[in-house]
A and B are shown apart, each in its own frame.
Chain A
């Protein structure tokens, strides 16, 4: 057994006084897989969402299906698809301004400041840490104590806005049952929009800030039975928050893709009723 000389002045697990193990990590499992998969997943979504948000085409199908990426459609450009603008048109029609420029930035910020996505990108993009007991590459670390990361504390405001946007998405999904000439109809697209908006609600309501606002901030639950009950429900959803975060990335892409394919005439929407 040889005792290697101490590398005095080293950082982290090599700090003086700690066991001189040598290897930075002794993990033998594929610890790099989850952060790698997360990076790929997030990049796929970002590329798809960016392309679609700026495409300004194929966002309204069968005169009633509005994709969530264009909701609410508030640009003058929405006039190209009559019936797609449910809340008026007032933003200039410009290739660099998405038609839903009123909601998309806030939805992005909602997810960017989400406690789950923070974990996901701190691990996969910042490698702080890439996996547990795997040393991070940074020489110093201040966490969320300073600008800009201290701004993560504004998450609750994006939660409030996300609730408003979810209401708008719900409205879109409901009015999609009315065809301007055929009246009440149910197509596969309706089920797609409905499933998407349901899952969006699951993601939004399972938010940690929602859990806090509903009742988590109280210390005396027995004095507030209603809020305690609400907290219990949100807490149950909250345990699956990460799952909903991923599911909704998937369903947003699939929903948008469905609308885009129907709108472009690539596929036809199957009518179940009407």
Chain B
């Protein structure tokens, strides 16, 4: 069944912009990205929107729909009432380029700041041996499609531009957790997470988890375990004592 839906789409660039009203045909089974494509085809040929797979797997089409960070291609029109106005804006944490397209290079900068996988010296590729149990936790984090919706929604940078310098964001703190939990990684990730990547700024309010389209439990499985590891290292005299004694024995 088709109907004419009401949409407000943000149009503009870094110098300014506004929400523009449109009435667009909506058909059964469509997602918001389908409607934006129809809008491009019929009324706004110059509307900029980034997309690629239309299957929730490439992480390109991140935007905000009725104020919530979401993938355009995974938000079904059936979740809205027919007379509901659907508002689409670009992600509001990153600089806008044009219309719905933002400059997400903050994320690439943060990704580069994390030292890559560091195997023990003398262990050649091909000699890695580990059980499924050892990689289970990391595998959850590897589901990430790098849509950066978690980065967009995290209030630490969304509400405080000045924190971008010192805060890697949930996606990259999760990357640190992935390497830290890797049985063959020998780099010191714990101190770096706290001192260089801003783990202490996260207040575990779970918005990253709430918006992740892959359903990754970022806060429970990556951020809180990392906070606990930092507590081991920094704030737990018992663990410190135990470690000192066992080091003496070695």
Contact = CB atoms under 8 A, between A and B. Distances in A.
Interface of A: 1-6, 11-13, 15, 17-22, 25-29, 115, 118-119, 122-123, 128-129, 132-136, 138, 140-145, 149-150, 153-156, 208-209, 211-212, 216-217, 219-222, 228, 238-239
Nearest to A137: B159
Contact of A212 (B15, B68, B93, B225): B225
A143 B156 contact: yes
A221 B227 CA distance: 19
Contact of A217 (B130, B207, B228): B228
7 contacts: A3-B15, A118-B203, A119-B205, A132-B207, A135-B155, A143-B201, A154-B235
A18 B225 CA distance: 33
B120 interface: no
A18 B93 contact: yes
B159 A26 contact: no
B17 A11 contact: no
A18 B94 contact: yes
B55 interface: no
Contacts of A155: 231
Contact of A27 (B16, B67, B102, B159): B67
Nearest to B239: A217
B17 A3 contact: yes
B68 A221 contact: no
Contact of A118 (B12, B96, B200, B204): B204
A150 B95 contact: no
B67 to A, nearest CB: 3
B130 A222 contact: yes
Given A22-B18, A26-B66, A133-B67, A141 B160 contact: yes
A79 to B, nearest CB: 37
A208 B228 contact: yes
Given A141-B160, A219-B182, 4 more contacts: A6-B16, A28-B84, A154-B235, A239-B217
B92 A18 contact: yes
A13 B231 contact: no
Contacts of A21: 10, 19, 89, 92
Contacts of B185: 219
How extensive is the interface on chain B, given as a class?
A: 35 or more
A3 B203 CA distance: 36
A259 B236 CA distance: 39
Interface string B187-205: 0000000000010111111
A5 B94 CA distance: 19
A236 to B, nearest CB: 12
B200 A1 contact: no
Contacts of B64: 26, 133
Contacts of B156: 141, 143
B121 interface: no
Nearest to A219: B183
B231 A128 contact: no
A17 B16 CA distance: 9
Interface string B62-105: 00101111000000000000001001011011111000001000
Contact of A132 (B89, B96, B130, B211): B211
Query: Which A-B residue pairs are the 4 nearest by beta carbons?
Result: A27-B67, A26-B67, A143-B201, A222-B131
Contacts of B130: 220, 222
A4 B18 contact: yes
A123 B206 CA distance: 10
A208 B158 contact: no
A142 B236 CA distance: 22
Contacts of A3: 12, 15-18
Nearest to A134: B67
Given A3-B16, A18-B92, A18-B94, A129 B134 contact: no
Nearest to A209: B228
B20 interface: yes
Contact of B69 (A122, A133, A238): A133
A217 B155 contact: no
Contacts of B94: 18
B147 to A, nearest CB: 15
B102 to A, nearest CB: 8
B34 to A, nearest CB: 21
Centre residue among A21, A28, A228 by max chain B CB count within 10 A: A21
A222 B12 contact: no
B231 A156 contact: yes
Nearest to B131: A222
B245 interface: no
